[in-house]
Amino acid sequence: MDNKQHIVLKYMLDNNQWIDVTHDLIFTGDCLKIKHLMTSTLKEGRSTSVQQIGIVLKELQDREGLKTLKTIHQQAIIDRAVFEELRLQLRHEAQLRITKQLSEVNEIKHISEALKDLQALEQDDKPKELNEPINFKQWSKHIAPEHNYLDSGIEPLLDTGTDFKLGDVVNFLAASGNFKTGMMTRIAKDQILKGRNVLFYSMEETAQSLQARIGGMILRKTPYQYSQLTEDELEDKFKSIHLGELDVISGEVILIEEMADAIKELEAKRGYKYDYIIPDYSAMIEVKNASKQAREDQLISKVFRELKMIATNQNKVVVTAIQANRDGYGKNKSPRVENTSASMGGVHVADLMLSLKYSTNPDAIVRPTLADVEPNDVKGFVKLTVRKKRTGTISVDDAFIFTHKADGNSIFEDRMTTDMENFELWDNLFDVE
């Protein structure tokens, strides 16, 4: 391969743990310059990517560097085995290059430097796969690190210590038709409005339908009103709104063994990292080559273990949903963790589990046509109940009421407690078969 340095740098930009343990000596020219920028970014405690290096090079007005970065970005995705082979070849090439330089220099200082470089190239460092043991007397290790919160946009969770954190897996539990997708599209909308990036796997909707749903929520328009806008009108309305990126994949079965690499490959192709991964239903994720003898609960447990690894290893929030079984229907005002369909695997892995119960608005205004529906018309009400949590001041079984508007938005109304005004009215509203 002629572009070994470019290919190796692309892999390192996607897998930052390899940057510090890879020799600068194996790179030359603009590739070396880019490696230095990657290293300095890591030393500042930040992650690096093609997009981030591009911003730095633009600031420096480095046209040649940008040209090289474009070549790096265009390289094919490789696996770790290929990366390590090319990295080894570049080390050998660097050793040959320095050995040749040795025969051409006479000064002791230059000879000494070349010999140090050769000695350094003998080391084949790799990222640590296991954490070092921690001794009890390392007192700094007794202090819990601050969590990096990526606030969900769900108002009652804000500043409670229970809100979504990097590395979390969050599960919504609900019977069919109880606003699971509605709540997850709300989260996606809130995140891109905060400038974050979201990858949404849609099971029941096309990409067009889901994008239009979220667009309508942002512009506060009903589905009918939004569908009347032309492409030019949409571009004009959104140009003043700063948005993160939202990519939607629909109509596709996800294989859990391939999901982590697929996310990395898509990030490399797009040039940005995702903060949120949202498969709108966990049952759309399958196990590759599953044994016919494997029980459903075993397969579901494997899926959720891998989702947790993606969240932890790739520093993301994963949000998905679990179908409530038949016991989660009926007069249970909101399904509980024991109502998860088929397996408790999703419950064990979840850092936060929230159940949903939806009730249509019995006093909804009757509109003669879709064109007459107003964005603020109340379609129904959502009861969100905390069923499992690991941290924070929110308690298990705390419940909250949201109003579902015709523009798709859900507005937080109140915390549901026995001393709240109209408690019995709310209680009876959700106590339906």
400 DSSP β-pair partners: 384, 415
The DSSP element (H or E) to which 360 belongs, if any, is strand 352-360
Mean pLDDT of the chain: 85
Q: What is the pLDDT of residue 175?
A: 85
Query: Is pLDDT at 334 greater than 60 in this prediction?
Result: no
Is the Cβ–Cβ distance between 339 and 323 less than 8 Å?
no
DSSP one-letter code for 397 = T
- pTM (2 d.p.): 0.65
* Cβ neighbours for 95, distance < 8 A, ≥ 6 positions apart: 118, 121
d(C-alpha 63, C-alpha 68), whole Å: 9
Q: Could you identify the residue written with the tokens 């979220």?
A: 214
Please give the pLDDT value at position 299: 76
Pairing of strands 285-286, 317-323: unpaired
- Does residue 129 register a pLDDT over 70? no
With a pLDDT cut of 90, the percent of the chain lying above it is 46
DSSP, collapsed to helix, strand or coil, labels residue 133 as coil
**In terms of pLDDT, which residue wins out, 187 or 142?**
187
Q: CATH 1.10.860: which residues of the chain?
A: 4-121
Which residue, chain included where needed, has tokens 């990030």? 267
Top-confidence residue, 387 or 128: 387
DSSP output for 293-331: T--HHHHHHHHHHHHHHHHHHTT-EEEEEEEB-GGGSTT
Q: Angle at the Cα of 373 (from 370 to 379), degrees rounded to 5?
A: 105
The pLDDT of residue 79 is 84
CA 122 and chain centroid, separation: 38
pLDDT of residue 343: 47
For residue 329, the model assigns a pLDDT of: 41
Angstrom distance (rounded) from CA 225 to CA 376? 13
On the question of pLDDT at 335 being above 60, the answer is no
Q: What is the pLDDT of residues 369-418, one digit of tens each?
A: 999 999 999 999 999 999 999 888 999 999 999 999 999 999 999 888 88
Q: Which tens digits make up the pLDDT trace of 250-284?
A: 877 788 888 998 999 999 889 999 999 999 887 78
Q: What is the mean pLDDT of residues 301-317?
A: 88
4-121 carries CATH number 3.20.20: no
Percent of the chain that is helix, strand, coil (3-state, to 5)? 45, 15, 40
Report pLDDT for 255: 86
Tell whether the model's pLDDT for residue 337 goes beyond 80: no
Residues of the chain with CATH 3.40.50.300: 155-430
Q: Which of helix, strand or coil describes residue 250?
A: strand
Q: Which residue has the tokens 């190796």?
A: 8
pLDDT at 348: 76
**CATH pick for 155-430 out of 3.90.1150.10, 3.40.50.300, 3.60.20.10, 3.30.465.10:** 3.40.50.300
What are the pLDDT digits (tens) for 201-212?
988 788 999 999
